[in-house]
Structure 1
């Protein structure tokens, strides 16, 4: 069996968790949380990094910081996880979905300006598979129309656009440390604050709307309720699991990029035969090997290939169903312009096994099976299975 994902374990997590237990400080904002935050601020050269319980909560904090109210519009791609939408919907925003680029599966930056109205408050680019959106144009549009850019960089830690890390280009950035991500603590996230005007209020929102952070740093003698907020602090135990992974960020990144490139090189002949399409990495992007996916002709081919791979012990996955086609998407948002690529391209994606420590032989086994399928063995297998039924 070749699993689709294996949550990363460096081997040092238990040591740091034990330190937390011995220290007796297990709630949020302990020493390990501070060390993680410092790592982000030093490595990414960002203004402030606040660890949260999830990327979802980082996005929700961003929506609160913007004072989103009912009727405000937020521009997002439809091809994304539901949290990108829910964070703003919870504040009453209207979701404006924009089509994607078929090569990267990222929001089509050329279509954003047409979707901007006097009600637009923010643009939320999603860096799919850790591959950057076209951030120069997005930031220019934000400046021109006085909008805030919130990078959904759930996939993007250690990826770059030009010479800047993802999550540090927009006014705010959001990371995920879910167990499916390159670096994780089971469940976790971070809000990256690149616009200093948001820092103080973000710390208050994260602490249930209080100025408890100032109290803990000895700046005030008691803390009070100042704003809306919630308990968005990551547990110190989760931070202890995350920290040793951050210390090995570069070798982990190198390992995933090696696996990604092995897949890509092995599939090139099938791409030339028009059997499948491979991911595109724009010249301005430096990715992190978060996902390796192929795109096949249509859903029928995808379903057949995935079933064949599962039968042979290789676990794969599809990805997002476009949000605008869901009941909630229809009720609380609308697709601006024509859905040329979002639905059709989303139906072609197959995500292949990808995780730290993925064995080269397992990659080659997966590739070999896919080549066999397209060489005709898949059709023969499907015919045999049909006869059994």
Structure 2
């Protein structure tokens, strides 16, 4: 079976884990956490980076930092992973789901303003497949209406919009280092804080609501419980593994982009025959090779293709199920149809793409897709 994803070691992951253990400290915020944070800040121009146990944790911290509470409304796409919404549901917010664009599958910026009310506290955007939303128009909307902008950049490390790194536009942003992402640590994430007003409180929330970070820096002689918070720090084991991955980011992403490009070029004849639709890059956006998807013409074709690929020992997958139609939220949703989201969800397939993928594996997958459509390759 060709897996959808495969974790990998590329550098000094095991050596750095050994160093962390031998240092006598493997709880959070040690040497490797600080190295990861510094590398991300310097490379991408982020204001401040704090490693977290997951991107989900980072999103939950966003909800706390923005003082999201009952009666607040948060706008976001329905076409996203449940963590994007859960983080704000946990604060009592009402989620107002927006439809997506049919080309990039990102939030449709032309639909946002109609959803803004006096109760709107934040707009959360998702850069699907590492391809940027229209940041010029989105930033203008949030500034005009004085609402917070949060970037869920879980899929978007080392992707850019007009030369500026994704994750650097929002007041708050998040990254994921889950094993399915470009740069991995098993689990793991990061909170990016671009608005200095949130720097100090973010540290406190991440340390269970205490000012312990100040104690470790020698700024106070004892730490106290000063705010709400939780334990959002990853261990030094995770950070050590992650630092080795970050050191090799250019190599990893170059390889993934190469794999992405090969899929695109070799499957293009099927798009020209109108049996599938391939990904589209938005104007001004780069692509980081995070994932490769295709859209079938209808849900029946999609399901049959998935079954066929599985029979050929190829693990392809689909996602996302629309959050506004989920069992948990369907009765809380305002009843609007989100036609692009609903259509896309039923037609999308994600193909295997991982760092150690071999040429013959990828060519086999491509040939089987042609076989399914009974088209000579």
Q: TM-score range by the shorter chain?
A: over 0.9
Corresponding position of 2:340: 341
CA contact 2:133–2:282 (8 Å) conserved in 1: no
Name the SS of the counterpart of 1:34 in structure 2: helix
**Residues 28 and 236 of structure 2 are in contact (CA less than 8 Å); yes or no, is this contact kept in structure 1?**
yes
* Aligned-partner Cα distance in 2 for 1:7–1:165: 25
- Would you say the 8 A contact 1:28–1:235 is kept in 2? yes
Which residue number corresponds to residue 126 of structure 2?
A: 126
Q: Measure, in 2, the Cα distance between the counterparts of 1:328 and 1:303.
A: 24
Unaligned runs of 5+ in 1: 378-389
Distance 1:331 1:173 in 2: 29
Gaps of 5+ in 2: none
The 1-side partners of 2:316 and 2:276 are apart by 16
Q: Does 1:205 align with 2:192?
A: no
Q: Which residue of 1 aligns with 2:363?
A: 364
In structure 2, what is the equivalent of residue 307 of structure 1?
307
> Do 1:89 and 1:332's aligned partners in 2 also have CA atoms closer than 8 Å?
no
Say if 1:95 and 1:334, in contact at 8 Å, map to a contact too.
no
CA distance in 2, matches of 1:101, 1:358: 31
Conserved 8 A contact 1:211-1:226: yes
Question: In the TM superposition, what is the alpha-carbon distance from 1:357 to its structure 2 partner?
Answer: 2.1
TM-score between the two structures when normalised by the length of structure 1 = 0.95
Equivalences for 1:109-188 in 2 at 5 Å?
Answer: 109-188=109-188
TM-score w.r.t. structure 2 length? 0.98
Q: What SS class does the counterpart of residue 329 from structure 2 fall into?
A: helix
Query: SS of the residue aligned with 1:328?
Result: coil
Take 2:270 and 2:212, find their aligned partners in 1: how far apart are those partners? 58
Give 1:1-389 correspondences, 5 Å limit: 1-334=1-334, 337-375=336-374
2:343 match: secondary structure: helix
Q: CA RMSD in A?
A: 1.1
* Structure 1 residue 334 displacement after superposition: 3.2
The match for 1:382 is none
Work out the CA distance in 2 between the residues paired with 1:169 and 1:368. Answer: 40
| Other structure's SS at 1:124 match | strand
In the TM superposition, what whole-angstrom CA distance separates every residue of 1:164-217 from its partner, at most 9, and x where no partner exists? 111111111101111111111111000000011110100000000111001001
Shift of 1:312: 1.0
CA distance in 2, matches of 1:121, 1:301: 40
